[in-house]
């Protein structure tokens, strides 16, 4: 039987490449696997030969030690692959299909899935609604930063690319369909972005850049991206965004006013999450900063899309409240301005097929927007270190050297 190398979280600040078990159509015991999920049979699933799998900022939270992730957890929830084995109960997905895997694991049978809320499937995580591959407190489904991975509920979940050869030509774009492109797009949609609107995107990491590109696709007149990282802001500017450097100038509303002639925008998107820092040169970690600032700069009646990750357990938080996800948010301000807040995991299946067509038609240029950069599996530990230092790259792992 074939082996399987994978990217494994070992300790805070460190990942390793380890030899792991070749996947089977059953969820076995291992680091992070919920005891109630051990032994779960997945004849409705498939085994994939991973073609591309991406490093995500959400992975980085775990690697920094900012979650309760256990040592030995196999990472990776952004997966694109070729089907090499199908379970007994799989009817429509076939061997040889090239597919995108939504990062949400969803059964297709529960009330949430039937209502297209695949981000909060009720049947895949015994602890809470919603699940994901290779992620802490998400049921223990094994991650896909590996050579091979098992994917359950294949007929329901997998997005098959219609032409394998053409898909491989655009694989650096299509690999973003598993998470950050739908996540950025969901942030923009839930923030009410529409033709002619003005939008502020907090954070110029890959998800923020995806949200900015999505806002452009939705017809926004002006997209403003804010960050503390000049390199990432330069990347946002490269595809037509306005930018504000919050390290050099802490006055967000004033900088927006200089761009728009008004200190407020129609919509705002939080693509930072719980490791947010305050603004200015002497900034420190302040997890409620982004949520409070987007309420400040969004007009009355506007909407806030919040795809940025917030957690219920953060052992490295700056205070005791933040360690359990309790943040000092000016909710009264949001209430007074009649803001709409949309939070949580993105329901990837609500958007991925349309975004696939936008990529295949040439309408969307997501790989260019996020600066997709191909690496080997062996280079993943170094890439994690570079990403943690703030490089403006979206690392795409090619475990088998299949991408030209």
Q: Among 326, 343, 360, give the residue marking a domain's end.
A: 343
| Same domain assignment for residues 62 and 102 | yes
Q: Which of 226, 209, 225 is nearest to 372 (CA)?
A: 209
Q: Is residue 255 part of a domain?
A: yes
Instruction: Count structural domains, the chain.
Output: 2
CB within 8 A of 5, min separation 6: which ones?
17, 18, 19, 20, 146, 147, 377, 399
Contact 293, 202 (CB under 8 A): yes
Q: Is residue 366 part of a domain?
A: yes
* CATH number of the CATH domain containing 231: 3.40.50.720
Q: Is residue 15 part of a domain?
A: yes
CB-neighbour burial class of residue 64 (10 A; exposed 0-12, middle 13-18, buried 19+): middle
Query: What is the rounded distance in angstroms from the CA atom of residue 83 to the CA atom of residue 94?
Result: 7
Q: Among 297, 322, 343, give the residue marking a domain's end.
A: 343
| Same domain assignment for residues 215 and 331 | yes
**3-state helix vs strand vs coil in the chain, percent to 5:** 30, 25, 45
Question: Mean pLDDT, the chain, as a whole number?
Answer: 96
Q: CA-based Rg of the chain, rounded to a whole angstrom?
A: 20
Instruction: For residue 111, give both structure tokens.
Output: 């009330």
State the DSSP string of 336-402.
Answer: HTT-EEEES---GGGTHHHHHHHHHTTS--HHHHHTEEEE-GGGHHHHHHHHHTT-S-EEEE-TTS-
Q: Is residue 31 part of a domain?
A: yes
Structural domain boundaries, residue 322: 180-343
Q: Is residue 249 part of a domain?
A: yes
Q: Is residue 403 part of a domain?
A: no
What's the Cα-to-Cα distance from 346 to each of 56, 219, 312, rounded to whole Å? Answer: 14, 21, 18
Per-residue pLDDT of the chain (404 residues; tens, 9 = 90+): 468 999 999 999 999 999 999 999 999 999 999 999 999 999 999 999 999 999 999 999 999 999 999 999 999 999 999 999 999 999 999 999 999 999 999 999 999 999 999 999 999 999 999 999 999 999 999 999 999 999 999 999 999 999 999 999 999 999 999 999 999 999 999 999 999 999 999 999 999 999 999 999 999 999 999 999 999 999 999 999 999 999 999 999 999 999 999 999 999 999 999 999 999 987 889 999 999 999 999 999 999 999 999 988 889 888 999 999 999 999 999 999 999 999 999 999 999 999 999 999 999 999 999 999 999 999 999 999 999 999 999 999 999 999 98
| Same domain assignment for residues 66 and 10 | yes
Contact 329, 366 (CB under 8 A): no
| Same domain assignment for residues 335 and 374 | no
Q: Which of 351, 46, 374 is nearest to 181 (CA)?
A: 351
Query: What is the rounded distance in angstroms from the CA atom of residue 199 to the CA atom of residue 226?
Result: 11
| Same domain assignment for residues 359 and 318 | no
| Same domain assignment for residues 140 and 256 | no
| Same domain assignment for residues 46 and 166 | yes
Residues forming a β-bridge with 52: 80
| Per-residue pLDDT tens over the stretch 303-326 | 999 999 998 888 988 899 999 999
| Same domain assignment for residues 172 and 250 | no
| Same domain assignment for residues 203 and 110 | no
| Per-residue pLDDT tens over the stretch 133-170 | 999 999 999 999 999 999 999 999 999 999 999 999 99
State the DSSP string of 107-145.
Answer: -SSSHHHHTT-GGG-SSS-TTSS--BTT-TTTT-PPPSS
| Same domain assignment for residues 133 and 194 | no
| Same domain assignment for residues 308 and 233 | yes
* CATH number of the CATH domain containing 47: 3.90.180.10
Q: Is residue 404 part of a domain?
A: no
| Per-residue pLDDT tens over the stretch 215-234 | 999 999 999 999 999 999 99
DSSP state of 328: -
CB within 8 A of 34, min separation 6: which ones?
125, 126, 127, 139, 140
Q: Is residue 303 part of a domain?
A: yes
> Within 10 Å of residue 15's Cβ, how many Cβ atoms?
24
Q: Among 327, 343, 359, give the residue marking a domain's end.
A: 343
CB-neighbour burial class of residue 374 (10 A; exposed 0-12, middle 13-18, buried 19+): middle
| Same domain assignment for residues 292 and 314 | yes
Contact 203, 270 (CB under 8 A): yes
Instruction: For residue 390, give both structure tokens.
Output: 């703030």
């Amino acid at each position: 039987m074939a082996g399987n190398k994978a990217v494994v979280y070992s300790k805070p600040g460190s990942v390793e490449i380890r030899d792991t078990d070749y996947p089977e159509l059953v969820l076995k015991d291992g680091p992070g696997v919920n005891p109630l999920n051990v032994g779960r049979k997945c004849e409705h699933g498939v085994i994939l030969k991973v073609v591309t799998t991406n490093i995500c900022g959400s992975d980085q939270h775990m690697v920094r030690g900012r979650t309760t992730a256990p040592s030995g957890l196999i990472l990776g929830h952004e997966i694109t692959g070729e089907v090499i084995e199908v379970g007994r109960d799989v009817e429509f997905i076939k061997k040889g299909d090239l597919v995108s895997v939504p990062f949400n694991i969803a059964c297709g049978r529960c009330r949430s899935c039937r209502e297209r809320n695949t981000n909060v499937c009720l049947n895949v995580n015994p602890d809470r609604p919603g699940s994901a591959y290779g992620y802490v407190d998400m049921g223990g489904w094994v991650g896909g930063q590996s050579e091979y991975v098992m994917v359950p509920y294949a007929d329901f979940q997998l997005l098959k690319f219609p032409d394998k050869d053409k898909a491989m030509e655009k694989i650096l774009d299509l690999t973003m369909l598993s998470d950050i492109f739908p996540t950025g797009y969901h942030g923009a949609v839930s923030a009410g972005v529409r033709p002619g609107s003005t939008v502020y995107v907090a954070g110029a990491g890959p998800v923020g850049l995806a949200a900015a590109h999505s806002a452009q696709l939705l017809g926004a007149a002006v997209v403003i991206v804010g960050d503390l990282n000049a390199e990432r802001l330069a990347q946002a500017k490269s595809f037509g965004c306005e930018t504000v450097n919050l390290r050099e100038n802490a006055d967000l509303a004033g900088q927006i006013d200089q761009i728009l002639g008004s200190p407020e925008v129609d919509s705002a998107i939080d693509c930072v999450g719980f490791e947010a820092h305050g603004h200015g040169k002497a900034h420190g970690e302040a997890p409620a900063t982004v949520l409070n600032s987007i309420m400040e700069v969004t007009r009355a009646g506007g909407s806030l899309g919040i795809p940025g990750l917030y957690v219920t357990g953060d052992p490295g938080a700056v205070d005791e409240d933040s360690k359990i996800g309790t943040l000092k948010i000016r909710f009264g301000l949001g209430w007074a301005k009649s803001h709409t807040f949309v939070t949580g995991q993105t329901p990837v299946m609500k958007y991925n097929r349309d975004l696939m067509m936008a990529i295949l038609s040439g309408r969307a240029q997501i790989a260019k927007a996020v600066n997709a950069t191909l690496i080997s599996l062996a280079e993943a530990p170094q890439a994690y270190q570079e990403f943690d230092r703030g490089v403006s790259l979206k690392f795409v792992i090619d475990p088998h050297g299949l991408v030209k």
